[in-house]
């Protein structure tokens, strides 16, 4: 049984998609990041970066102590290895998929996140920041588009590389992206979006939370963090 600490965001969707695809047994533990639940000591003990997603595998293959994992890329790798699904064991195909998973967690996710921030949420419109992240977003979509030319999926057959990237392409309109300008991404996006496990994951998300993650009341929680936030979390953990 996998405990999944989850909220309804792209990084959260990656893991529900994998778990639904692989049909692993899991228990969903919502962490409402708009309400500050990511700072609860019990969650910080599993996810020291105060971010979802995180998992606890109550039945690791070793048969020993439960294993906890944070960072969506590490979780996808862990689950792929545990289940033997969506990551080839053939070395060339395996590293091909993994390099695109790393590309997603180090590039596509953070850059599109900054794009969102400056385009949608920043209290002042800063043209330099908006333009910088809009251009980088378009560059990354173009990289993905070139990669998908003549390919059905990002790396060989459907893999954790597709699972990692898909949820970040879902909000393409809010990123200022016209998907028709990236026809290979658009075709891939349609194919992945029709997979029953992907459909189930987004239905599940709608049942867990239908409110926007970023609202007037959650802005300070999400955008007001600093080293003091981490120190407060640490102090709360020590009190426990």
Pairing of strands 26-30, 54-57: unpaired
Question: What percent helix, strand, coil does the chain show, rounded to 5?
Answer: 60, 10, 35
54-57 β-sheet, strand order: 26-30, 2-6, 54-57, 67-70
Is position 51 an interface residue for ligand GSH (rule: CB under 6 A)?
yes
Binding string, residues 177-216; x marks residues near ligand GSH by CB under 6 A: ----------------------------------------
Single out the residue of 71, 93, 96, 136 in contact with ligand GSH (rule: CB under 6 A): 71
Q: Tell me the HSE value of 181 on the side-chain side, using a 13 A CA sphere.
A: 12
Is position 44 an interface residue for ligand GSH (rule: CB under 6 A)?
no
Is position 46 an interface residue for ligand GSH (rule: CB under 6 A)?
no
Q: Least Å distance between CB 90 and ligand GSH?
A: 26
Q: Which is nearer to ligand GSH, 89 or 206 (CB)?
A: 206
Residue 70 in contact with residue 51, Cβ under 8 Å? yes
Single out the residue of 8, 50, 137, 175 in contact with ligand GSH (rule: CB under 6 A): 50
Q: Least Å distance between CB 62 and ligand GSH?
A: 24
Stretch that binds ligand GSH, among 68-76, 137-145, 150-158, 167-175 (CB under 6 A): 68-76
Give how far Cα 130 sits from Cα of 16, 122, 136, Å.
31, 10, 10
**Which residues, at least 6 apart from 120, have a Cβ–Cβ distance to it below 8 Å?**
174, 214
Is position 222 an interface residue for ligand GSH (rule: CB under 6 A)?
yes
2, β-bridge pairs: 26, 57
Residues contributing to the site for ligand GSH (CB under 6 A): 9-11, 33, 38, 50-53, 71-73, 105, 109, 222
């Amino acid at each position: 049984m996998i405990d999944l600490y989850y909220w309804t965001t792209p990084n959260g969707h990656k893991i529900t998609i994998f778990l639904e695809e692989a049909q692993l047994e899991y228990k969903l533990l919502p962490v409402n990041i708009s309400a500050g639940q990511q700072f609860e000591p019990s969650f910080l003990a599993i996810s020291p970066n105060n971010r979802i997603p995180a998992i606890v595998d109550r039945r690791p293959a070793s048969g020993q102590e439960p294993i906890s994992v944070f960072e969506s890329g590490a979780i996808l790798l862990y689950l792929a290895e545990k289940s033997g699904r969506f990551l080839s064991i053939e070395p060339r195909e395996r590293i091909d998929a993994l390099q695109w998973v790393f590309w997603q967690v180090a590039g596509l996710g953070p850059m599109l996140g900054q794009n969102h921030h400056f385009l949608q949420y920043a209290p002042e419109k800063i043209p330099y920041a908006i333009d910088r992240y809009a251009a980088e977003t378009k560059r990354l979509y173009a990289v993905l588009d070139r990669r998908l030319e003549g390919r059905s999926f990002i790396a060989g057959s459907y893999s954790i590389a597709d699972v990692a990237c898909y949820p970040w392409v879902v909000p393409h309109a809010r990123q200022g992206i016209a998907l028709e300008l990236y026809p290979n991404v658009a075709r891939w996006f349609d194919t992945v979006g029709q997979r029953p496990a992907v459909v189930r994951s987004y239905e599940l998300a709608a049942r867990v939370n239908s409110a926007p993650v970023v609202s007037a009341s959650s802005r300070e929680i999400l955008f007001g963090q600093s080293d003091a936030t981490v120190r407060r979390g640490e102090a709360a953990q020590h009190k426990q």
